[in-house]
Amino acid sequence: MREQRPIIALDFPNFETVKTFLDQFPKEESLYLKIGMELYYSTGPEIVRYIKSLGHAVFLDLKLHDIPNTVESAMRVLSLLDVDMTNVHAAGGVEMMKAARRGLGDKAKLIAVTQLTSTSQVQMRADQNIQTSLVDSVVHYATRTAEAGLDGVVCSAKEVSAIKEATSANFVCLTPGIRPAGASVGDQQRVVTPELAQEIGSDYIVVGRPITQAENPVASYQAIKAAWSGQL
Ligand code: C5P
């Protein structure tokens, strides 16, 4: 089940910049917003309450990775914020992921990071001593994530079909690294367009700078949303 709204990555340093950004959108436009470490560590849970009070959906991207008991307790606290989706690192293991699910409950989606998209195969072999291919490692982590009862994974759009084949068509694939045709790539290595992400079968796309740094963020958002939902 594909989410029609692109998730906007709120990669801003503080409350004021978020408010200025969101004030540009029409009040009735219901958005799906990603709060990452920078914003959360700067503002604390207040930013989540604020965004929820405006009627928007929240993906809290904190990528938890610790012993199962600690992750379960942290997720229990985060569940009180009524987020719509949050995540952990699959490298924490099946027991940690099950604990995360227990702590969070079933109301919010829970997904896992497999291999970070900033990790190359050479780095994975050297740093983690995992000697398979990068895709095999990603698919392995995705399978373990499904076994733990989570909803899906964060992944590169290029990995979606292998992941769905190894798990199920319903297993959620959320893909960052999205760029409209002709847009600046920035520091992303492997980018796809919203149209291609849709064709490939992503369930959610996360878009940051092409919207947040655009001259007209609302127009950019609407164009990306139309491309993603196949209305162009
Ligand atoms: O600006 P841009 O569209 O590149 O932002 C993408 C967002 O998705 C950022 O918040 C980035 O941290 C996040 N992300 C990513 N790759 C991952 C996981 C998260 O780009 N594998």
What CATH number is attached to the domain comprising 71? Answer: 3.20.20.70
> pLDDT tens digit string along 145-188?
999 999 999 999 889 999 999 999 999 999 999 999 877 777 77
Residue 152 within a domain: yes
Residue 1 within a domain: no
pTM of the predicted structure, to 2 decimals: 0.95
Residue numbers of the domain that contains 44: 7-228
CA of 156 to the centre of ligand 1 (A): 10
Least Cα distance to 9 among 172, 204, 211 occurs for 211
Any atom of ligand 1 within 6 Å of the Cβ of 180 = no
User: Has 117 been labeled as part of a binding site?
Assistant: yes
Going by alpha carbons, the residue nearest to atom 14 of ligand 1 is 176
The set of catalytic residues is 63
Residue 58 within a domain: yes
Q: Report the residue among 61, 193, 206, 211 best suited for mutation to probe ligand 1: largest number of ligand atoms under 8 A from its CB.
A: 206
Q: Percent of the chain having pLDDT more than 90?
A: 90
Residue 24 within a domain: yes
Any atom of ligand 1 within 6 Å of the Cβ of 172 = no
11 CA closest ligand 1 atom index:
10
Residue 67 within a domain: yes
* pLDDT of 58 higher than 80: yes
Any atom of ligand 1 within 6 Å of the Cβ of 194 = no
Going by alpha carbons, the residue nearest to atom 20 of ligand 1 is 176
Residue 2 within a domain: no
User: Has 34 been labeled as part of a binding site?
Assistant: yes
State the Cα–Cα distance between residues 193 and 155, nearest whole angstrom: 15
Number of residues in the chain: 232
Any atom of ligand 1 within 6 Å of the Cβ of 2 = no
Residue 31 within a domain: yes
Going by alpha carbons, the residue nearest to atom 5 of ligand 1 is 208
Q: How many domains does the chain have?
A: 1
Quickly state the pLDDT bin for 232 (edges 50, 70, 90).
low
User: Which residues of 92-156 form beta strands (DSSP E)?
Assistant: 109-113, 152-154
Least Cα distance to 142 among 108, 170, 123 occurs for 170
pLDDT at 25: 98
User: Has 22 been labeled as part of a binding site?
Assistant: no
State the Cα–Cα distance between residues 5 and 94, nearest whole angstrom: 30
